[in-house]
């Protein structure tokens, strides 16, 4: 009787163990959905794996954050995730995402793009960082077909190259650099911001254009809310915006200050 009881318990235990292993295997093999736009995710020095896992989940990169954490600890690599900017297209398992973060580029170039910079100036900064000729960046940024391939609702990338600090590995391709910067824009300009734009009667491109004009008008960051309110009021009344910095787009070299002859 005791033997039968022990045998039955052993069978129950084995069945439970097999079931648990199947659940774990399923979690490890589950893939995140493919993303409409690639996600650029920046990992900072000193971030905990739990924080990283949560961000990856919110960005739609990771389907099983608990499996990701467990796998990292089981492999002993939970403290080996490398800082930098990573681009994810979706469709990866927890193990594949972990491999990407642990086996990131050994050497990467950090490039900071300040707010309010036009494409021409961004191209020169990227060239100065050794990331390719400025002429190639300008060519791609003005290419309607390339803009369409990135999901940009305009015929060029002006306004869609998100200002941020980026890390690039060895010999990055200019197209990949611009693709990452545009992906960062779409990651930040999320559905909540799109909804807010629609509520004001603005398309995505109109919102980007208006934000660029506000940025150009503001001498300091604290002026932006007031300038924004003025422009929104003018739009509501059907008035011209009369934003002098927009004239720079029609002036060769886009030089400052704006002269009366430019107007």
Lowest-confidence region among 2-16, 171-185, 194-208:
2-16
Has residue 161 been placed in a domain? yes
For residue 205, pLDDT beyond 60? yes
Give every CB contact of residue 227 below 8 A, 6+ residues apart in sequence: 214, 217, 218
Which parts of the chain fold into alpha helices (H)?
Answer: 2-29, 49-58, 65-75, 94-102, 119-128, 134-141, 144-149, 174-188, 191-199, 204-217, 224-236
Q: What is the pTM of this model?
A: 0.57
Question: Could you tell me if 206 and 223 lie in one domain?
Answer: yes
Q: What is the pLDDT of residue 261?
A: 79
Residue 207 within any structural domain of the chain: yes
What are the C-alpha distances in Å from 228 to residues 211, 217, 242?
8, 10, 13
143 and 208 together in one domain: no
Omega within 30 of 0 (cis) for the link into 131:
no
Instruction: Please tell me whether residue 260 adopts helix, strand or coil conformation.
Output: coil
- Residue range 244-250: average pLDDT? 79
Which has more confidence, 144 or 89? 144
Predicted confidence at residue 195, as pLDDT, reads: 92
- pLDDT-derived band at 19, boundaries 50, 70, 90: very low
Please indicate, yes or no, whether residues 204 and 223 belong to a single structural domain of this protein.
yes
> Tokens 């170039």 belong to which residue?
109
CA 188 from chain centre, in angstroms, equals 6
Host domain of residue 176: 109-188
Give 255's pLDDT tier (boundaries 50, 70, 90): low
Mean pLDDT (the chain) is 81
Residues 21-48: what's their mean pLDDT? 69
Residue 5: band (very low, low, confident or very high) from pLDDT cuts 50, 70, 90: low
Answer for the pair 217, 230: CB distance below 8 angstroms, yes or no: no
Task: Please report whether residue 89 resides in a domain.
Answer: no
Whether 8 is in a domain gets the answer: no
Pick from 29-43, 98-112, 147-161 the range whose average pLDDT is largest.
Answer: 147-161
Contact between residue 101 and residue 58 where contact means Cβ atoms under 8 Å apart = no
**In whole angstroms, how far apart are CA 216 and each of 44, 158, 191, 219, 254?**
30, 13, 25, 8, 12
Are 134 and 173 within one domain?
A: yes
Higher pLDDT, 202 or 248: 202
Task: State the average pLDDT over residues 92-120.
Answer: 79
Same domain, 216 and 238: yes
Mean pLDDT of 116-137: 91
Which of 8-22, 61-75, 139-153 comes out lowest in average pLDDT? 8-22
């Amino acid at each position: 009787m005791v033997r039968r009881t022990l045998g039955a318990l052993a069978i129950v235990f084995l069945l439970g163990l097999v079931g648990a292993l199947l659940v774990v295997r399923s979690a490890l093999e589950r893939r995140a959905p493919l993303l409409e736009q690639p996600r650029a995710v920046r990992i900072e020095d000193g971030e905990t794996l739990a924080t990283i896992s949560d961000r990856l989940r919110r960005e739609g990169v990771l389907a099983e954050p608990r499996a990701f954490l467990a796998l990292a600890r089981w492999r002993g690599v939970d403290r080996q995730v490398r800082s930098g900017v990573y681009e994810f297209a979706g469709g990866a398992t927890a193990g594949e995402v972990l491999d990407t973060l642990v086996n990131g580029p050994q050497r990467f170039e950090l490039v900071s793009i300040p707010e309010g910079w036009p494409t021409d100036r961004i191209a020169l900064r990227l060239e100065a960082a050794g990331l390719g000729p400025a002429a190639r960046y300008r060519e791609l940024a003005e290419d309607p077909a390339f803009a369409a391939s990135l999901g940009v609702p305009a015929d060029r990338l002006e306004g869609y190259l998100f200002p941020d600090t980026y890390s690039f590995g060895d010999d990055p391709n200019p197209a990949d650099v611009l693709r990452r910067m545009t992906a960062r824009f779409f990651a930040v300009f999320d559905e909540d911001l799109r909804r807010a734009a629609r509520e004001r009667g603005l398309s995505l491109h109109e919102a980007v254009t208006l934000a660029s004009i506000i940025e150009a008008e503001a001498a300091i960051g604290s002026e932006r809310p007031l300038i924004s309110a003025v422009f929104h009021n003018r739009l509501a009344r059907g008035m011209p915006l009369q934003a002098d910095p927009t004239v720079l787009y029609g002036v060769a070299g886009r030089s400052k200050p704006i002269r009366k002859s430019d107007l």
